[in-house]
Structure 1
Amino acid sequence: MASDSKPTPRAPFDDADADIIFRSSDGVLFNLYKNIVAKASSVMRDMLTLPDDGLPQTVDLTESATTLDGLFRLFCPVERPTFSSLDDADAVLAAAVKYDMPVAIANLCPSLRLLMVSDPLRLYAMAYKRRLEDLVRESAKLLVRDSTFHVRQNPPAEFDDIPAIALHNLTVYRVTCSKKARALVQDRQWPLSGDHRMAVSRGGTPGNGVDISGSWVWANTQPYAHSESCCPGSIILSYALRDGNAAAVHAQKWWCKYINSLADAVGRCPCGETVRSFFPTPASQKALKNAWGCPACLCHAPSDVQCFNELLAQRVDDELDKVELKVAFAAGRAVTGTEKVGT
């Protein structure tokens, strides 16, 4: 015999004194309060009417109970939702955009940031589709680390809903970041004349006028300060010092080789973390091979390289933050779906 018992509202949305009931597409009830709903959603506010029989108003929605549970938790005084996948989060985001819930969208963004690492390309497309500029830019920063993101075997389904210019601008942004990062690594002036604790100034011997004491082990005022047999050769670099003067400094060849190897790495993955983690790696060890055979370099090269990487990594991050990603949303408000929002 079929039961005709009344459905039980889903906890924690089961207050007996609630004055509006939302019913999901799969028949689950959510008891809420009109004043909270009206403040959270301009669209739902227009659905609200005064009860004519003393009973709470019931509104049918087209979203599933799972989606509505996540949505309502984003603006009601209950425990916030957690999301295990972008699919679940996107369903809630679509509903929040559809019902014009800026507070819900803002409260959802931290969860989207946590999920961003798993699939930054899809998050980029999702955020672009929903006109969430901050998330567009944040996901783009992760995508610059992947040189093949634009030739993915299975692109996100959201690509059908964003303009081609969104992918074009992202590609241009990555190329710009790659070139910028390489240029920063290959800047031969900054290691000795930049605004950091290892920079040098005028002083030292009268002939050269550069005091490099306390600076990098690879920098010398003489061409053969180290043993030529185990640390062969040097390259003369002209440095513009912070006091406006110039000086010639001899850089060990192993250092120049290291810089070139690091530039290749940061060109492939332009970010400060690439610089920080480059030493020790097989590529860096190969570049520094001659340094390990020189007693003078061996004592200080590891600490100097690590110090240099830390200083340079911060510089790379700071400068790449200044690279602008063009974001141009189409006119109009992004809303998902054209279905009826309530009855």
Structure 2
Amino acid sequence: MTMRTSSSAPPTTSTSASTKASKASSVFRDVLALPNGEEHEVAPPVIALDEDAQTLEHLFRLCYPVERPDASSLDILVPVLRAADKYHIPHALAALKKDLASFVRQSPLRVYAIAYIYKFEDVARMAARTLLCAGPTFAFPRITPPEMEMLPASALSRLLKYRWECVQAALVDTIRDESEPEVGAEGTPRLNWVWLEINSCKNGLKQCERLLLKPGEQPGRYYVPRWFADYIELVRKNLAVRPVGSSVAADHPKVAACVRQVSTCTTCGAVACADLWEFSKALAEKVDEAVSQIKLDFPPYFEE
């Protein structure tokens, strides 16, 4: 049997490639097993393939112990992945799955779509988790990935549901009681944060005035400085948009502004800055831990 690629002009043929393909692919093996007609007694039959020469070369190089081809872009990777799936070459699919995962940070939405189409659950979950760092408009990119045309609506619905559940986990599981958050260095519960200990600031700065953070609770217990109330409000807004630990970390631009705000107070500034840095770091870890418990749901047929 001779294989003919789709891209050559005039078309090129390869007999050796067909032998290699038959060993790696059950599809090619079955084709080779078919009896030849009388017209092919002298010349072997020619099989015309839809894939171009570059795609097939990439695919076949994955089947043998030679230097692996470079998948420098998803535009190169996807046709090879499609061919590996079409011709049932499992070890090529496994290699391409690893290559696909390397593009998660670069193109998370497109990787999610590709992984969903080919039932790569772990890669789809990686992409979904990475998309939490993007804003809520991630689902409406300026340039729509071509794979989105083949993606069922339920796939995007599951992704949005996963994101919503992550937001709820980040908010509910980490900021249930803002006045006494039991987080500290290395997970040690701590209740002596400066915003709980200092009842008033003698400097009389606006950012240090006491506010009732949760009206209706026990009087006095939930009074905190304005700067901490501002921080908690900022944390809530950030997590509602991006439910990841980096949204509450002290090096986040908006969080850093809160730190600078309190640093101007000569009474509590130094201690407050240190406490807020420690608190935000521990809170970021707690947010990531809470979100990690949320799992992206897949349809039952993924397990078939």
Give the structure-2-normalised TM-score: 0.78
- State which of 155, 159, 168 in structure 2 corresponds to 1:166: 155
Q: Which residue of 1 aligns with 2:50?
A: 62
Conserved? CA contact 2:174–2:290, under 8 Å? no
Amino acid at match of 2:24: A
Matched, 1:179 2:163: no
Q: Which residue of 2 aligns with 1:274?
A: 247
Q: Which residue of 2 aligns with 1:227?
A: 202
Amino acid at match of 1:325: L
Conserved? CA contact 2:179–2:196, under 8 Å? no
- State which of 109, 119, 124 in structure 1 corresponds to 2:97: 109
Conserved? CA contact 1:173–1:323, under 8 Å? yes
Conserved? CA contact 2:81–2:96, under 8 Å? yes
Q: Which residue of 2 aligns with 1:91?
A: 79
Matched, 1:323 2:294: yes
Q: Which residue of 2 aligns with 1:193?
A: 182
- Deviation >6 Å, runs of 4+: 50-53, 55-58
Q: CA deviation at 1:91?
A: 0.3
For 1:146 and 1:302, locate their aligned partners in 2 and report how far apart those are by CA, in whole Å. Answer: 28
SS in 1 for 2:117: helix
Q: Which has the higher strand share?
A: 1
Conserved? CA contact 1:279–1:305, under 8 Å? no
Conserved? CA contact 2:262–2:273, under 8 Å? no
Q: Could you list the per-position Cα deviations for residues 235-268 of structure 1 after superposition, in whole angstroms to 9, with x for gaps in the alignment?
A: 5789xxxxxxxxx576433122112112211221
Q: Could you list the per-position Cα deviations for residues 253-295 of structure 1 after superposition, in whole angstroms to 9, with x for gaps in the alignment?
A: 312211211221122111123233x5352x2244345511222
For 2:23 and 2:274, locate their aligned partners in 1 and report how far apart those are by CA, in whole Å. Answer: 57
SS in 1 for 2:282: helix
Q: Which residue of 2 aligns with 1:6?
A: none
Q: Evaluate the alpha carbon distance shift between residue 320 and residue 332 of structure 1 in structure 2; reply closer, same or farther with a 3 A threshold.
A: closer
Q: CA deviation at 1:317?
A: 1.6
Matched, 1:298 2:269: yes
Q: Evaluate the alpha carbon distance shift between residue 258 and residue 161 of structure 1 in structure 2; reply closer, same or farther with a 3 A threshold.
A: same
For 2:69 and 2:289, locate their aligned partners in 1 and report how far apart those are by CA, in whole Å. Answer: 34
Q: Evaluate the alpha carbon distance shift between residue 95 and residue 141 of structure 1 in structure 2; reply closer, same or farther with a 3 A threshold.
A: same
Q: Could you list the per-position Cα deviations for residues 49-97 of structure 1 after superposition, in whole angstroms to 9, with x for gaps in the alignment?
A: 49999x9998653311111122122231011222222111100110011
For 1:192 and 1:186, locate their aligned partners in 2 and report how far apart those are by CA, in whole Å. Answer: 7
Q: CA deviation at 1:311?
A: 1.8
For 2:126 and 2:202, locate their aligned partners in 1 and report how far apart those are by CA, in whole Å. Answer: 48
For 1:327 and 1:123, locate their aligned partners in 2 and report how far apart those are by CA, in whole Å. Answer: 16
For 2:84 and 2:179, locate their aligned partners in 1 and report how far apart those are by CA, in whole Å. Answer: 48
Conserved? CA contact 1:23–1:29, under 8 Å? yes
For 2:58 and 2:267, locate their aligned partners in 1 and report how far apart those are by CA, in whole Å. Answer: 62
Matched, 1:29 2:14: yes
Q: Which residue of 1 aligns with 2:217?
A: none
CA RMSD of aligned residues (A): 3.6
For 1:262 and 1:331, locate their aligned partners in 2 and report how far apart those are by CA, in whole Å. Answer: 37
Q: Evaluate the alpha carbon distance shift between residue 130 and residue 153 of structure 1 in structure 2; reply closer, same or farther with a 3 A threshold.
A: same
Q: Which residue of 1 aligns with 2:28?
A: 44
- State which of 230, 233, 236 in structure 2 corresponds to 1:263: 236
Q: Evaluate the alpha carbon distance shift between residue 190 and residue 88 of structure 1 in structure 2; reply closer, same or farther with a 3 A threshold.
A: farther
Q: Evaluate the alpha carbon distance shift between residue 33 and residue 163 of structure 1 in structure 2; reply closer, same or farther with a 3 A threshold.
A: closer
SS in 2 for 1:115: coil
Conserved? CA contact 1:185–1:262, under 8 Å? no
Q: Evaluate the alpha carbon distance shift between residue 303 and residue 232 of structure 1 in structure 2; reply closer, same or farther with a 3 A threshold.
A: closer
Conserved? CA contact 2:97–2:120, under 8 Å? no
The farther-off stretch of 176-185 and 267-276 is 176-185
- Structure 1: gaps (5+ residues): 1-19, 201-209, 239-247, 334-343
The farther-off stretch of 134-143 and 84-93 is 134-143
Q: Which has the higher helix share?
A: 2
Give the structure-1-normalised TM-score: 0.70
Q: Evaluate the alpha carbon distance shift between residue 296 and residue 249 of structure 1 in structure 2; reply closer, same or farther with a 3 A threshold.
A: farther
Conserved? CA contact 1:74–1:107, under 8 Å? yes
Q: CA deviation at 1:98?
A: 0.5
Amino acid at match of 1:199: P
For 1:280 and 1:138, locate their aligned partners in 2 and report how far apart those are by CA, in whole Å. Answer: 23
For 2:180 and 2:33, locate their aligned partners in 1 and report how far apart those are by CA, in whole Å. Answer: 69
Q: Could you list the per-position Cα deviations for residues 169-194 of structure 1 after superposition, in whole angstroms to 9, with x for gaps in the alignment?
A: 21222222223223345333696434
